[in-house]
Amino acid sequence: MTRKDKVLIANGQGFWGDSILAPVRLVNEGPLDYLTLDYLAEVTMSIMQKLRSRNPQAGYATDFVKLIDRILPQLVEKNIKVVANAGGVNPTACMDAVMAVVKKHGFKGVTVGIVEGDDILSRLDELMANGERFANMDTGAALSTVRKDVTSANVYLGAFPIAEALDRGAQIVITGRGTDPGLVLGPLIHEFGWKQSDYDLLAAGTVAGHIVECGAQCTGGNYTDWRRVPDMAKIGYPIIEARADGTFVVTKHDNTGGLVTESTIAHQLAYEMGDPRAYLGPDCSADFTSFKLEMDGKDRVLVRGVRGTAPTPTYKASISYRNGFKAVGELTISGPDALEKAKLCAEIVWQRLAHDGCEFAPEEKMVEFIGANVTHSGIASAERKDPSEIFLRIGVKSAIEAKVDRFGMEIVPLVTSGPPGVTGFAGGRPKATDIIGFWPALVSKTKIQHRVTLVTS
């Protein structure tokens, strides 16, 4: 294939629930070669697995299918390729839904590819029997201690399976769990022919993907110096202008809001950072101290000099498990002495529960008085003497579901059997919901095989 001199990759989704307008605007406001969309987080996989257990055709990001329905004509007209991890725990069902959209629009020759192999939930016992302990990376405990409660298990696949799907002609690539930077790195491998031993280049693509993976968080969103960010309502989402030598520019479309500076990029670079000299991924280890940022014009930051080394022989596995139950109730307490009354409300709840034989240990209780400096306790100014209203958040957790539900019955009665000023009750009676625990672990790469499947309309 003919190699391009420059490739434009935009990220229009930083999480499942990000702006639905962002990807629509990206394909309409300027030129693009690729649109990437990042929907997945650790807890999302468990939620999707639960949905699939109830419906074999569920378990993927349905928002993605609605988006494709909206922008497919522009994607075809402009030959923009899409790479998204919207497949969740059911990439096949997601592909089927997308193909139904393609058929609805009457387009012929549109190829959709899926990457599978990351979902190892059904293989856990086999893998454990073959020597994989899945030791918790934080505690060292073996997965066997919580095996019966596991709800999802996925490995973070790398970018080369995405590149394979693109090499085979896919215009839309749908994956399950992979690394967030891999959504950008995959197209770069495909476009520039980077090899598995090109560690500096793979590290550059990893850094590029990390910068844009949270969407507008690198173009002025969630930015400390927020007063300098113009037109945040129309904030531009990030675009990578990448070249084959590993240099790239972070920018956004012209005439959009937001801000791209060395500072906004540096803020995002520190996101989810462990050892900056060894940002570990399945394709390489990137050294985040090796490169330079420099302005390359208005809203353009040049990144050059990225260095990388070989990856580890393991994949990271993201495992979720049931870890008890929780419930949270919310009340608004207003008028004179609001904080004092809110404290009394919380104490009433604990005393009434104890009177009925339902007690919670201190570590199982949560009480927050919103409006009395709870969010930045110890950092913000001293507690106000008499705030006019307090938002009381009170919650519990326990391994016993009935015990948590019993707690939920004691919130509403405070409206008439507590101090005066309990004027607002939010969300109905709190019910026990699952607490999802996160179990990070490692698994040998030799035990994992990816699969790429393509379908053409």
Q: How many CB atoms lie within 10 A of CB 383?
A: 13
The sign one gets for the Cα dihedral 282, 444, 151, 437 is negative
CA distance 112 to 188: 19
What confidence score (pLDDT) does residue 381 get? Answer: 55
What confidence score (pLDDT) does residue 389 get? Answer: 84
Structure tokens at 191: 């476009």
What confidence score (pLDDT) does residue 378 get? Answer: 58
In the chain, ranges of CATH 3.30.70 domains: 320-439
Q: How many CB atoms lie within 10 A of CB 165?
A: 28
Any idea of the CA torsion for 128, 132, 134, 139, to the nearest 10 degrees?
120
- 257, 231 contact by CB (below 8 A): yes
pLDDT tens series, the chain, 457 aa: 667 889 999 999 999 889 999 999 999 999 999 999 999 988 788 889 889 989 999 999 999 999 999 999 999 999 999 999 999 999 999 999 999 999 999 999 999 999 999 999 999 999 999 999 999 999 999 999 999 999 999 999 999 999 999 999 999 999 999 999 999 999 999 999 999 999 999 999 999 999 999 999 999 999 999 999 999 999 999 999 999 999 999 999 999 999 999 999 999 999 988 899 999 999 999 999 999 999 999 999 999 999 999 999 999 999 999 999 999 999 999 988 899 999 999 999 999 999 999 999 999 999 999 887 666 565 555 555 667 788 899 999 999 999 999 999 999 899 889 889 887 777 788 999 999 999 999 999 999 999 999 999 9
For the residues of 271-310, what is the DSSP string, one character each? TT-S-TT-EE-SS-EEETTS-EEEE-STT-EEEE--EEEP
Q: What's the CATH number of domain 320-439, 3.30.70, 3.30.450, 2.40.480, 3.40.190?
A: 3.30.70
- C-alpha distances (whole Å) from 398 to each of 12, 99, 351, 429, 436 are 39, 44, 18, 17, 13
What letter represents residue 440's amino acid?
P
* Residue bearing tokens 């999480």: 15
Nearest alpha-carbon partner for 90 in 53, 36, 127: 53
Spatial neighbors of 413 by CB under 8 A, at least 6 apart, are: none
What count of residues does the chain have? Answer: 457
Q: How far apart are the first and last CA of the chain?
A: 23
Name the packing angle between helices 199-212 and 182-192 (round to 10°): 140
What confidence score (pLDDT) does residue 74 get? Answer: 97
User: What pTM was estimated for this model as a whole?
Assistant: 0.91
CA distance 371 to 274: 33
- C-alpha distances (whole Å) from 402 to each of 325, 327, 398 are 9, 11, 9
